[in-house]
Amino acid sequence: MVSLSKAQKKYLPYVLAVALFMQILDATILNTALPQMAIALDESPLKMQWTIISYALTLAIFIPISGFLADKYGTRRVFLTAIIIFCIGSLLCAAASSLSFLIGSRVVQGIGGAMLTPVGRLILVKSYPRNQLLTVMNFAVVPALVAPLVGPLLGGYLVEYASWHWIFLINIPMGILGFVIGKSLIPDLFDVGQRFDWSGFFLFAAGASILTLAVEFASKSGHGSSAVVLAMLAVVSLAGYVWHAKHRDAPLFPLQLFDVPTFRIGIVGNLSTRIGISAVPFLLPLLLQVVFEYSPSEAGWMLVPIAAGAFGVKPFVSRIIQRFSYRKVLVWNTSLLGFSIICLGQFAANMNILAMMPLLVVIGLCNSIQFSAMNTLTIGDLEGPQTSSGNSLMAVNQQMAVGLGIALGAAVLNVLRERFDVDTQHAFQMTYWLLGVWTIVAGLGFLRLKPDDGEGLY
């Protein structure tokens, strides 16, 4: 355990809190701003999905490398460099004059973001004794609960009353604050670990990237053969990783993780159910602004009940799981989530805003229960070195689900509109139906859990 000064012990969690708030605010502030950004960039609002997918995919690719860089080059240098890269990416986003430039800038942001949270969490784990770690972590992750409440509203008001550029420029003062306090407070920790699995990293990254591109190409008229070729390349790349991992002593993600039943079921469920869930924050602001002609700020207010529901149920999640078991909670909660997504398609332009709120709160409640239950179950039975690699794979898995979910939602929407000539509102309704049914069917995978699985976690 590293020796900290009195100031470091007291204020170090603030560094992670600032960085985490900046990163999550950036992820949530963008959704309500996309239609106005599309107008400014002379693009269709329904084809802006890659501004979010590129960021999520970059996180998924680069998260595994963050720990290796921190061990080799020191936590302080890597964390401060991550802040700088994130802020440079934010400046580039604000300066973007085309969608292609914006997507490239989001990739730069993602490279910085991929190191911020994992390295910050690593610093806390290595700096505090286990009996203080829960308290420190809980304080540091408060921004993760607050930012989703603030982000959609702030994004709506900024784009409506200032300009879309400010949703990126707002990161700069937070980044400067994090850099200044981090430079004096972050301990410089090194570790001599195993050699990094570069071959596995490139195989896995290629598979994840190409698979997401395949979903995108499938939605474009005349690109069906390209989508098939890309899907085959993705399968080959991921199969290559599996072969590689079987023949390497210390692969990027050991295949032995999947010998643990709860991890295997949890990681698959995490990916499959999040695909439908992740599309909602992207599609809902588009439906409200493009079809129902809500203002950006009104659309922002419509996302607040989701975040409020998630925030409000958080203290009760453990008791709910204790009362009903992981198996029952995940099966029934996923079904309720899927049904709620289907109900989103029944929203109409003439509906009273207050009438929509209860459904949005329910979605937020179910999201919070779902994510907490899946995450704890997935890594709960891992032991020793498995815990670190399993946690890393879960984080990568979550970001892949975000990218795939948005890509799938956008692909279905565009195929219905462009190939089948369905009007925009009905295309949204049918997309919600498909995503809802997908979520319900994916949730049936949790039936493979035993009634007593996860009992030792509460």
Q: How confident is the model over 264-314, as pLDDT tens digits?
A: 999 999 999 999 999 999 999 999 999 999 999 999 999 999 999 998 998
Q: What is the pLDDT of residue 134?
A: 59
Q: Cα–Cα distance between 253 and 275 in angstroms, integer?
A: 22
Work out the pLDDT band at 8, boundaries 50, 70, 90: confident
Q: What is the pLDDT of residue 1?
A: 59
More confident residue, 337 or 10: 337
User: Could you say which of 206, 231, 249 is where a domain stops?
Assistant: 249
Cα distance from N-terminal residue to C-terminal residue, the chain = 27
User: Could you say which of 177, 194, 211 is where a domain stops?
Assistant: 194
Count the domains in the chain: 3
The verdict on 93 and 165 lying in the same domain is: yes
**Backbone phi and psi for residue 42, each to the nearest 5 degrees, phi listed first:** 60, 45
User: Does position 458 have pLDDT exceeding 70, yes or no?
Assistant: no
Q: What is the arithmetic mean of pLDDT over 2-24?
A: 83
Work out the pLDDT band at 349, boundaries 50, 70, 90: confident
The verdict on 244 and 161 lying in the same domain is: no
Q: What is the pLDDT of residue 383?
A: 82
Q: What is the pLDDT of residue 271?
A: 95
Write the DSSP assignment of 186-221 as a string of letters: --------PPP-HHHHHHHHHHHHHHHHHHHHHTST
The verdict on 46 and 127 lying in the same domain is: yes
Work out the pLDDT band at 220, boundaries 50, 70, 90: confident
Give the CATH number for residue 64: 1.20.1250.20
Q: What is the pLDDT of residue 437?
A: 97
Would you put residue 130 in left (φ > 0), alpha (ψ -120 to 50) or beta?
alpha
User: Could you say which of 155, 173, 194 is where a domain stops?
Assistant: 194
The verdict on 298 and 393 lying in the same domain is: yes
Q: What is the pLDDT of residue 17?
A: 84
**Backbone phi and psi for residue 176, each to the nearest 5 degrees, phi listed first:** -65, -45
The verdict on 37 and 6 lying in the same domain is: yes
The verdict on 149 and 48 lying in the same domain is: yes
Q: What is the pLDDT of residue 442?
A: 97
| Radius of gyration from C-alpha coordinates of the chain | 21
Q: What is the arithmetic mean of pLDDT over 56-72?
A: 91
pLDDT, tens digit, 9 for 90 and up, residues 97-126: 999 999 999 999 999 999 988 888 888 878
Q: What is the arithmetic mean of pLDDT over 149-175?
A: 93
Mean pLDDT of all residues belonging to the chain: 91
Q: What is the pLDDT of residue 133?
A: 66
Q: What is the arithmetic mean of pLDDT over 133-156?
A: 79
Q: Which two tokens stand for residue 171?
A: 């990161």
* % of the chain residues with pLDDT over 70: 97
Q: Which two tokens stand for residue 29?
A: 């502030």
Work out the pLDDT band at 445, boundaries 50, 70, 90: very high
**Backbone phi and psi for residue 128, each to the nearest 5 degrees, phi listed first:** -120, 145
The verdict on 218 and 281 lying in the same domain is: no
Work out the pLDDT band at 240, boundaries 50, 70, 90: very high
Would you say 222 and 242 are in contact if contact means Cβ atoms under 8 Å apart? Answer: no
Work out the pLDDT band at 365, boundaries 50, 70, 90: very high
Q: What is the arithmetic mean of pLDDT over 232-248?
A: 96
Would you say 188 and 78 are in contact if contact means Cβ atoms under 8 Å apart? Answer: no
Residue 205, domain extent: 198-249
Q: Cα–Cα distance between 199 and 182 in angstroms, integer?
A: 33
Nearest to 122 by CA among 76, 166, 179: 76
Q: What is the arithmetic mean of pLDDT over 252-274?
A: 95
The verdict on 161 and 306 lying in the same domain is: no
The verdict on 289 and 162 lying in the same domain is: no
Mean pLDDT is lowest, of 19-23, 78-82, 100-104, for 19-23
The verdict on 282 and 408 lying in the same domain is: yes
Work out the pLDDT band at 41, boundaries 50, 70, 90: very high
The verdict on 173 and 207 lying in the same domain is: no
Work out the pLDDT band at 388, boundaries 50, 70, 90: confident
User: Does position 198 have pLDDT exceeding 70, yes or no?
Assistant: yes
The winner for highest mean pLDDT among 11-20, 138-147, 275-284 is: 275-284
Q: What is the pLDDT of residue 138?
A: 66
Q: What is the arithmetic mean of pLDDT over 244-253?
A: 93
The verdict on 29 and 136 lying in the same domain is: yes
